[in-house]
Amino acid sequence: MNEETKRGSYAREKGEVVLREHEFDGIQEYDQKLPNWWLFTFYIAIVWFLVHWCVYYYTASASTDDENIRGAMVEIQQKKDRELAATLASLDDTTLVTKWATDPAITAAGEATFLASCAACHSADLSATMVVNNQPIPLPGRPLNDHHWEYGGKPMDVFKLINEGTPVNAPGYNGAKMQAWGQVLSPKQVAEVTAFLISKNPEDFKN
Ligand code: HEC
């Protein structure tokens, strides 16, 4: 028996509070057994950990975080595909020109999307230039008010180009390609922004 245990037992027999030998800056530490209920929860946690570890890593009954995330991603992609299919089903050249592009609420929503996501490269006035010291500086995007539609001048061609971005084999514009906005915007937003562009170029999209 060492000195500490003796001190401890002695104090315990006397019913006194047991303190550890050391002291730091006047701070002392109790030397008491943890209550059984506390130890019990601790042992349960150890058993739970072992069972959980084995079930999670050595049986196929629980799916891992990785599998959960992959499953969720597939679901999101399927939802997007369904949404796109639904939007495309109701959308054609005529509907875009006569219904969407003439509805002020739709073109306003399209303009808001355009200012937030597109104006950086195509400029708010669609000219794809920025004026600095009275000098027009070209921005990376194509002008959207020059009556030239590189990838087809039908409303659905424009929708497709915005949705899917520059086609894989196309050289782009001055070497710059555009991303597929369908990855970022919903099909509805792409249709709205297309309607906005049509409303700004009515003479290009006369039926
Ligand atoms: C990071 C710069 C950038 C942003 C942001 C951007 N674009 Fe583009 N956009 C380009 C480039 C570069 C091209 C030319 C691509 C090509 O020729 O293949 C282009 C081409 C286009 C075209 C084809 C124009 C034509 O003359 O045929 C359309 C339409 C268009 N963008 C619409 C949009 C819309 C709508 C958005 C916002 C949702 C957007 N762009 C955001 C860079 C951008």
> Quick one: pLDDT at residue 190?
96
For the CA of 193, the closest atom of ligand 1 is: 35
pLDDT at 17: 75
**What's this model's pTM, rounded to 2 decimal places?**
0.72
Helix (H, G, I), strand (E, B) or coil at 138: strand
- Stronger pLDDT, 119 or 35, i.e. the higher one: 119
Q: Which of 100, 117, 121 to mutate to test the pocket of ligand 1 (most atoms within 8 A of CB)?
A: 121
Rounded distance from Cα 131 to ligand 1 centre (Å): 19
Say which range, 24-33, 107-116, 163-172, has the weakest mean pLDDT.
24-33
* Cβ < 6 A, ligand 1 pocket: 114, 117-118, 120-122, 140-142, 144, 148-151, 158, 161-162, 166, 170, 172-173, 176-178, 181, 193
Collect all residues with Cβ–Cβ distance below 8 Å to 86 and sequence separation of at least 6: 187
Domains of the chain: 3-58 (no CATH), 72-205 (1.10.760.10)
The pLDDT confidence band at residue 3, using thresholds 50, 70 and 90, is low
Please give the pLDDT value at position 127: 95
Distance of CA 37 to the CA centre of its chain: 45
| Residue from 115, 122, 145 whose mutation best tests the ligand 1 pocket (most atoms within 8 A of CB) | 122
Choice from 115, 127, 142 to test ligand 1 binding pocket (greatest atom count within 8 A of CB): 142
Q: Which amino acid is at 33?
A: K
Structure tokens that stand for 204 in this block: 């290009």
Distance CA 193, CA 14 (A): 85
Task: Give the CA count within 13 Å in the CB-facing half-sphere of 77.
Answer: 6
